[in-house]
Structure 1
Amino acid sequence: MKILRFVLHLLQMGLLYGIYLMRDLYANHLGFMRNVSFYSHKFAESPLGRQIFLLPLVLVIVAGWLAFKKRTIESFLLLSMGLFFLGWQVGVGLEQIPIFYLVSGLLFLIFLLQLLIVLSKKGVHHGVFTRNY
């Protein structure tokens, strides 16, 4: 299981690097920029695009429940990632960042990988924040 968690952490780092690559692609390739702009505005106008902030809200609730149940460093990291994702969805918009939905998708994938890491770990008895009686 430690190898699986290590691989998942490497995938998370790769997705963080993917955010940089998307920004670079958007800045340097006109065709990519046109497609991203068209589909981002089309998605923003859709009913799902207007309600997308509900997804990180649900994820924060799930992460809070897992942090309360498991009490491990990974679950608290999951909660902080969920809060960051929620802040990203509420505080930043398509007007400020043209690749907003691409970055949101990558943040969602990073959150899901962290969720897999949390679910693969043991519960409270093996956590960092527990007392040994």
Structure 2
Amino acid sequence: MKMLRYFLHLVQLGLIYAVYLVDDLYKNHLGFMRNVSFYSHKVEANTFGSKLYLLPVLLVVITFLLLLKKRSVENVVLLLIGLAFLIWQLAFTLQTAPIYYLVSGILFIGFLLQLIIVLLKRS
């Protein structure tokens, strides 16, 4: 179990690198930029895109409930990731950050990995 937690932490560090990689790909590869722009505007026009801010709100509430039961470093990190995801959703838009939905997905995956770590630590 301990090795799995370390592996998941390494994957989370890789996700931080993925944000920079996606940004670099967006700035330097025209085909990637076109695909990201096309699908981002398609998601934004969908009803899911306008309600996406509810997901981090729900995740932060779940994190507070877990934090009330047991305070640990992993739970605090989970709360920080959830708050970062919520701030990203509320502070930025597709017009200010063209890779808005890609970064949102990366933050969501990072949150889910940290949630798995918290749940593994509890059992």
TM-score for both structures, normalised by structure 2: 0.97
CA distance in 2, matches of 1:68, 1:46: 36
Render the CA deviation track for 1:74-124: whole Å, top value 9, x for unaligned: 00110111011101001111111100000000000000000000001138x
Tell me the amino acid that sits aligned with residue 72 of structure 1: S
CA distance in 1, matches of 2:77, 2:104: 18
CA distance in 1, matches of 2:114, 2:72: 12
Q: How does 1:7-46 map to 2 (within 5 A)?
A: 7-46=7-46
Aligned positions, number: 123
CA distance in 2, matches of 1:122, 1:50: 35
Residues 1:91 and 2:91 aligned together: yes
Runs of 4+ displaced beyond 4 Å: none
**Alpha-carbon offset, residue 70 of structure 1:** 1.7
Gaps of 5+ in 1: 124-133
Gaps of 5+ in 2: none
RMSD: 0.9
CA distance in 2, matches of 1:29, 1:66: 42
CA distance in 1, matches of 2:91, 2:23: 19
CA distance in 2, matches of 1:110, 1:62: 15
CA distance in 2, matches of 1:64, 1:85: 15
CA distance in 2, matches of 1:122, 1:27: 42
- Structure with more of its chain in helix, by fraction: 2
> Partner residue of 1:77?
77
